């Protein structure tokens, strides 16, 4: 039991002595819940040395989590005996009801080995993860109606027997606002610009797809192909699918002078993973494009942003529906780009299983990654 205490504090570990104040504990608990979860070790000094507890604090911790944390948090409390000291480990799960805040209305997040009050952008992402706020309905700063392709909008409305271009301007504005292409102030929304924008990347930075094909199994291997795919989302999907197909050589055998193609994925698998990345990524993160990386043995589809509240990796293979960007989802469904909502990833899992392979879903940092294994050549 000598080495049971972690050596240092980090993103997932916090030390607190018995003298810690209730509100300070609440702040630490909330910071962990708003981030990736973690452990608070009670009866441990900042330098990692044990100082012990004079009694059990389980009831106190539970009361703090009920009264000082909003919404309430349910931790796990463990009592340990180390080096003749009684200490406690309080395990805080990753929150399912973010954002959490203290009873004095402060929102905290965990950054490295410390907590801090969430910035405006971080708070926005927390609310977006909860479903209380949808970034795809935000108006795009400095954008205007001229940034939209009215012919593409007309094609969209023609599906509903509406002659958009024949309508007076006032009716066009009403139609675009009613369908969330524009805000009530007649400014393009994020969803409107991504679907109908002429060049949405001019106003929405890092809203495209970075495509790369490597010769081997690592990103350090020789680069075979590289593209920066921009434009409206439907064009990004089409161009990304074309790039994947052009870069994947169909393995085949020659049997009695006849070419036999080896098993491979149907196009719908690649298309689903591209669409999924485009409609479910976090567009509030302006620092990175979606990335599609082809290696010798796999394709990786990497989206900025973690899974929304209520969605876990375990639920993805069996189907779950919690769109981060419901307006984008609606547009892409109406344009015929969406597999039945909540059923796309189960389909991907089934097709992968048919090849004797298994798809991986990974959350890491501020990214969600789908790793699609490729059949051996």
The phi and psi torsions of 257 (rounded to 5 degrees) equal 70, 5
Angle (nearest 5°) at CA 290 between 225 and 191: 130
Position 170 scores a pLDDT of: 95
What is the residue-wise DSSP string for 121-141?
Answer: HHHHHHHHHHTS--GGGSBPT
Residue 292 three-state SS: strand
Burial of 70 (0-12, 13-18, 19+ CB in 10 A): middle
Q: To the nearest 10°, report the CA torsion of 143, 322, 363, 332.
A: -50
What is the residue-wise DSSP string for 32-46?
Answer: HHHTT-EEEEETB-T
Average pLDDT along the chain, 377 residues, taken 10 residues at a time: 77 95 96 93 94 95 95 95 93 89 93 90 75 83 94 94 94 95 95 96 94 94 95 96 87 47 82 94 88 96 82 76 83 85 84 94 89 90
Residue 237 three-state SS: helix
| Distance separating alpha carbons of residues 331 and 180, to the nearest angstrom | 10
* 371, 362 Cβ separation under 8 angstroms: yes
| Chain-centroid distance, C-alpha 286 | 13
* 30, 38 Cβ separation under 8 angstroms: no
* 270, 301 Cβ separation under 8 angstroms: no
pTM above 0.75, yes or no: no
| Distance separating alpha carbons of residues 17 and 49, to the nearest angstrom | 10
| Domains, in order of start, for the chain | 13-118 (3.30.950.30), 135-198 (no CATH), 209-373 (3.30.565.60)
| Distance separating alpha carbons of residues 312 and 320, to the nearest angstrom | 9
């Amino acid at each position: 039991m000598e080495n049971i205490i972690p050596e240092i504090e980090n993103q997932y570990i916090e030390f607190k002595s018995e003298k810690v104040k209730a509100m300070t504990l609440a702040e630490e608990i909330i910071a962990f819940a708003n981030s990736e979860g973690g452990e608070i070790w009670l009866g441990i000094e900042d330098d990692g040395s044990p100082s012990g507890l004079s009694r059990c604090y389980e009831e106190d911790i539970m009361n703090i989590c009920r009264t000082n944390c909003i919404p309430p948090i349910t931790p796990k409390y463990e009592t340990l005996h180390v080096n003749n000291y009684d200490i406690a480990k309080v395990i805080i799960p990753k929150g399912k009801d973010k954002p959490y805040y203290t009873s004095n209305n402060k929102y905290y997040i965990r950054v490295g080995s410390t907590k801090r009050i969430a910035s405006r952008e971080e708070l926005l992402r927390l609310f977006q993860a909860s479903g209380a706020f949808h970034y795809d309905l935000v108006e795009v700063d400095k954008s205007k109606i001229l940034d939209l392709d009215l012919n593409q909008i007309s094609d969209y409305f023609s599906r509903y027997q509406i002659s958009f271009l024949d309508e007076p301007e006032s009716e066009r504005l009403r139609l675009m606002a009613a369908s969330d292409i524009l805000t009530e102030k007649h400014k393009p929304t994020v969803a409107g610009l991504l679907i109908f924008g002429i060049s949405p990347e001019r106003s929405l930075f890092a809203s495209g797809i970075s495509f790369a094909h490597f010769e081997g199994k690592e990103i350090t291997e020789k680069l075979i192909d590289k593209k920066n795919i921009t434009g409206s989302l439907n064009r990004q999907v089409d161009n990304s699918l074309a790039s994947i197909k052009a870069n994947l050589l169909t393995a085949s055998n020659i049997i009695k002078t006849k070419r036999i193609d080896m098993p491979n994925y149907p196009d719908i698998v690649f298309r689903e993973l591209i669409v999924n990345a485009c409609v479910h990524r976090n567009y509030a993160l302006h620092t990175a494009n979606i990335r599609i990386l082809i290696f010798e043995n796999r394709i990786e589809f990497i989206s900025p942003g973690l899974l929304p509240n209520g969605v876990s990796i375990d639920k993805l293979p069996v189907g779950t529906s919690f769109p981060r960007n419901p307006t984008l989802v609606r547009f892409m469904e109406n344009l015929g780009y969406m597999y039945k909502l909540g059923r796309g990833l189960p389909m991907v899992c089934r097709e992968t299983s048919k090849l004797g392979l298994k798809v991986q879903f990974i959350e890491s940092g501020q990214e969600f990654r789908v790793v699609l294994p490729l059949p051996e050549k």
